[in-house]
Amino acid sequence: MIWLLDLDNTLVSRDDAFAAWAAAAVAAAGGSDADLAAIVAADGGGFAPKRDVARVIVDRLGGDADLDAVVEEFRAGIRDHVRVYDGVLDTLDVLRGAGHQVAVVTNGVSHQQRGKIERCGLGDHVDTVVVSGEEGVEKPDPRLIEIALERLGAADVDRRRVWMIGDAAHTDVAVGRAARTRTGWVSHGRSWTGGARPDVHAPTAREVIALAAEGHWRVPVQP
């Protein structure tokens, strides 16, 4: 089986990291709870344009009006605060120990995504990492999955043996469907509103992987 896994809010706590950085920045600037709420809301779970987020930060907290510098400041703050979710590294090791292949497939700029992976020690627990900012294409474009499979030496694999798992319906689940893989959604307790349901869903990546691996979808697992 091949496991293609999103990074942010799937394997690592990106939103928690942004919120932690924002809370410290608001406190340092003497801001309010309303300022913090506005900054977190502007981030849009990491999907909002970064300069738009920076503009809200400057409007709320003052300081440097160089939006690109503010973007780099909060990106660095995310890297400083990001953590891998409990049990994720063990889960990846179990998969690979059973002969499965594992890849991180993530949207984002190279230095940011690679920095999170290094911070969390993920690199030694997966077979390859594919970052959209390095490839010129991003989820939900299925070409990013094709790149991942090529790097794993599995370009021609039966797509029923491939799982794309992530927390975002419009990128992770959508790219899996576009590439004809199995799909798993990390819900974090949310209700599904994205149309046709993914093959598996659960609150955490560990639980999604466990459900997918347990069922195997009647397709034998091959090393």
Q: Which domains does the chain have, with CATH numbers?
A: 2-13+87-218 (3.40.50.1000), 14-81 (no CATH)
Q: What is the DSSP letter of 196?
A: S
Residues 6+ apart with CB under 8 A from 73: 64
Cα–Cα distance for residue pair 105/11, rounded to 1 Å: 11
Exposure b/e, 56-88, CB count within 10 A at least 16 = b = bbeebbeeeeebeebbebbbebbbebbebbeeb
Q: Which residues contact 110 (CB under 8 A, 6 or more apart)?
A: 131, 133, 134
Q: Please state the φ and ψ torsions of residue 156, each to the nearest 5 degrees.
A: -100, 15
* 124-138 residue pLDDT tens: 999 999 999 999 999
Q: Answer whether residue 214 shows pLDDT above 90.
A: no
Structure tokens at 141: 């474009």
Residue 196: predicted pLDDT: 82
Tens of pLDDT, residue by residue over 3-52, are 999 999 999 999 999 999 999 999 999 999 999 999 999 999 999 999 99
